[in-house]
Structure 1
Amino acid sequence: MRKFILAASAFLCLQIQPLVAEASNLVAKVSISQQTMTVSQNGIVKYRWKVSTARKGYVTPLGNYKAKWASKNHRSRKYDNAPMPYAIFFNGGYAVHATFDLKRLGRPASHGCVRLHPDNAAQFFSMATANGLGNTKIIVTR
């Protein structure tokens, strides 16, 4: 009976191991000076995208954050119901989200959020929600 329990335990551990591997670390590093976001998973760079951060008179907060909540079809209550698709919120009302103002990507243009091309925002949203928001870190540097 003891051998059976040990064998069953070993089998269950092998079945659970892939789940642990899937709970990887996802890190999005936003550089305000370069207007880019570099996305790494398990320490391996997966993407580097142009972004728009806060324009003059607004602030994108610097720091290390964990993703707090996600909203696929969010609209801003603060800025005239403006669309914020694929939003990953990291600090209060600040989020990484899609923009349709593509000509401004690569330079400051937002009210403080980190704005991405819609395809890139959808990819990041998918990665963050699959990875788990608690395992998704957003780092904003000057």
Structure 2
Amino acid sequence: MKRIITAFASMAFAGLACVLSSTVASANVVARVDISSQRMNVSVDGWPRYSWAVSTARRGFNTPTGSYRPQRLYRSYFSKKYYNSPMPHSIFFRGGYAIHGTNYMGQLGRPASHGCIRLAPGNAATLYSLVQSYGKGNTRIVIAR
């Protein structure tokens, strides 16, 4: 009887592991940026997980709107266009536009960038980790005014 219970428990655990692994494989990360409120809301598998202040383009510059997939990821990156500025945990989504960490945390919550989407360094690291875990193909970046 003990062997039957142990075998049943093993099969149940294996079935649960299979269900969980298939759930992770099909998981989606969606980062929604609202330019008007200067906020990013991140959901995983349709469930809200994070809401963060961001900085998007200041006057005279543009943050592109639309729906994108991440193109390139860099844990450490320095802007070739803007004075070698650090862009930690960069997630490039359209050409030279990226979501990345910033040292200018006092500017979060208002337009301040040349077009990129700036996050607090810890939040940028969290998003970067989610994109790495779930994959670029399972991540969407949606930017709206």
Coarse TM-score class (shorter-chain normalised): 0.7 to 0.9
- Normalised TM-score (structure 1): 0.88
Per the TM alignment, residue 81 of structure 1 is displaced from its structure 2 partner at its CA by: 0.9
Give 1:132's match in structure 2, choosing from 123, 135, 144. Answer: 135
SS at match of 1:84: coil
Which residue number corresponds to residue 60 of structure 1?
63
Deviations 1:39-98 (A, max 9, x none): 000110000000000000100000000111100001111111110000011111111100
Correspondences of 1:43-58 after superposition (within 5 Å)? 43-58=46-61
Question: How far apart are residue 16 of structure 1 and its match?
Answer: 5.0
4+ residue runs of structure 1 moved beyond 6 angstroms? none
Aligned CA-pair RMSD: 1.7
Same amino acid, percent of matched pairs:
48
Count of residue correspondences: 132
Structure 2: distance between partners of 1:71 and 1:39: 20
Give the TM-score taking structure 2 as reference length: 0.86
2:22 to 20, 27, 41: 20
Other-structure match for 1:9: none
Residue 118 (structure 2) aligned to one of 115, 124, 135: 115
- Aligned position for 1:3: none
Corresponding position of 1:89: 92
Structure 1 position 109, deviation (Å)? 0.2
Partner of 2:79: 76
Instruction: Answer 1 or 2: which has greater strand percent.
Output: 1
